[in-house]
């Protein structure tokens, strides 16, 4: 049996997450489940909950890699919870666990995961016009090294389709 693709969804936590972000993340989660990929998130609120909810509703497998050491702190839609006890250092574990990343807005925590993914040359697709710290980098690079371009998408379907193409390329 072949290994399933593992897609990390990152973005706004509870603080800063709007109903529009939740809808986009939910739809991303559904599309990931429909692609027979495993959804990975940071396991907490906002975009993480919404994406896991979508994948869960579409009968997908969801994994929450949380910064705390108590699995009970993960959101209710995580099928598998990995309580790291690593605090913010868990961002690197999230990035390294993924075959690719979808970004729905987000602040400095999201940018930390983007940087970890960028340094490890993980394919990334960011949904345009979702705000946050990633907007200036969409369709470009984080720095002069040009490790991997952050591809822009205009919808959840386009984001998942583009990421799957990048992963299998």
State the pTM of this model. Answer: 0.97
Residue 85 lies in a domain: yes
pLDDT of residue 159: 98
Residue 126 lies in a domain: yes
Residue 92 lies in a domain: yes
Q: What total number of domains does the chain contain?
A: 1
Condensed to tens digits (0 to 9), the pLDDT of residues 81-128 reads: 999 999 999 999 999 999 999 999 999 999 999 999 999 999 999 999
Residue 10 lies in a domain: yes
Phi-psi region of 45 (alpha: psi -120 to 50; beta: other; left: phi over 0): beta
Residue 1 lies in a domain: no
Contacts of 55 (CB under 8 A, 6+ apart): 29, 30, 32, 33, 39, 61, 62, 77
Condensed to tens digits (0 to 9), the pLDDT of residues 34-81 reads: 999 999 999 999 999 999 999 999 999 999 999 999 999 999 999 999
pLDDT band at 2 (very low <50, low <70, confident <90, very high): confident
Half-sphere exposure of 7 (CA within 13 A, CB side): 35
Q: Give me the CATH number covering residue 94.
A: 3.40.50.450
The answer to whether 69 and 85 have CB atoms below 8 angstroms apart is yes
pLDDT of residue 123: 98
pLDDT of residue 5: 97
**Containing domain of residue 106, as a range?**
6-168
């Amino acid at each position: 049996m072949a290994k399933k693709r593992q897609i990390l969804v990152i973005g706004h936590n509870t603080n800063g997450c709007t109903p529009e972000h939740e809808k986009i993340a939910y739809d991303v989660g559904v599309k990931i489940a429909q692609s027979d990929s495993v959804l990975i998130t940071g396991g907490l609120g906002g975009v993480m909950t919404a994406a896991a909810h979508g994948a869960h509703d579409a009968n997908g497998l969801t994994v929450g890699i949380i910064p705390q050491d108590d699995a009970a702190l993960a959101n209710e839609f995580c099928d598998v919870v990995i309580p790291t006890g690593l605090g913010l250092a868990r961002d690197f574990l999230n990035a390294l666990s993924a075959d690719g990343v979808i970004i729905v807005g987000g602040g400095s925590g999201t940018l930390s995961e983007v940087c970890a993914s960028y340094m490890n040359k993980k394919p990334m697709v960011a949904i345009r016009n979702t705000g946050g710290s990633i907007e200036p980098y969409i369709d470009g690079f984080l720095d002069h090294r040009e490790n991997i371009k952050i591809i822009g998408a205009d919808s959840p379907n386009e984001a998942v389709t583009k990421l799957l193409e990048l992963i299998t390329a």
